[in-house]
A and B are shown apart, each in its own frame.
Chain A
Amino acid sequence: EIVMTQSPATLSVSPGERATLSCRASQSVSSNVAWYQQKRGQAPRFLMYGGSNRATGIPARFSGSGSGTEFTLTISSLQSEDFAVYFCQQYNQWPRTFGQGTKVEIK
């Protein structure tokens, strides 16, 4: 199975600053990566697909890039509601697999 590795595990950022989250696949997944945001006690929220396509209603401050094995989620100017855990997921092969998550916390 494809292992998705996210880094860092925790990212401490001040409101208004940029956050850059990384996700690496153990083998090429083309551009078949999605990103999700999860706040404590809530279901995951779909953010992005195809590595760089925002889901409906997702603010433009969220952007994604990458292909092959290296992917990045960038939040250009962190708002209070963005502090959460972020997961990447590959959908290039079965089984679908998720990264272990990056927690974005207030610095």
Chain B
Amino acid sequence: EVQLVESGGALVQPGRSLRLSCAASGFTFDDYAMHWVRQAPGKGLEWVSGITWNSAGQVYADSVKGRFTISRDNAKSSLYLEMESLRAEDTALYFCAKAAGDSYFDYWGQGTLVTVSS
């Protein structure tokens, strides 16, 4: 059974940093690209970032480019999102998602909540 478990969400002040983690199990992690998708409270889904299976390529939404860094550790079956210079508009539930095909998402974690507020 595929499982994705996010952690690291917290209440942080604007301008601060935070690192999210996603522990994957139930599939061969290093065969697949992985992504982060977020959902602001009561809002829709926003794709944030993705990384290839071998970390050779990373892509970012314009809203986070230059502030967020995606990475992975295939030996630990883990995905990460390093978030810097956090803003109030980054407040959201952050989902880790496994990529299928050409970057649609066939499995999702339950999310970890990031709240940016003073």
Chain A interfacial positions (CB closer than 8 Å to B): 1, 32, 34, 36, 42-46, 49-50, 55, 87, 89, 91, 94-101
Contact = CB atoms under 8 A, between A and B. Distances in A.
B45 A95 contact: no
A98 B104 contact: no
27 contacts: A32-B102, A34-B104, A34-B105, A42-B110, A43-B109, A43-B111, A44-B105, A44-B108, A46-B100, A46-B104, A46-B106, A49-B100, A55-B106, A89-B45, A89-B47, A89-B104, A91-B101, A91-B103, A95-B59, A95-B61, A96-B103, A96-B104, A98-B44, A98-B47, A99-B44, A100-B44, A101-B45
B62 interface: yes
B27 interface: no
Interface string B49-65: 01000000001011000
A95 B65 CA distance: 12
Nearest to A6: B44
B31 interface: no
A42 B93 CA distance: 11
Given A44-B45, A95-B61, A98-B46, A49 B104 contact: yes
Contacts, number: 57
Interface residues of B, number: 22
Contacts of A1: 62
Nearest to A92: B102
A50 B94 CA distance: 25
Nearest to A49: B104
Nearest to A33: B104
B84 to A, nearest CB: 20
Contacts of A100: 44
Nearest to A32: B102
Of the candidates A1, A45, A49, A87, the one having the most CB atoms from chain B within 10 angstroms of its own CB is A49
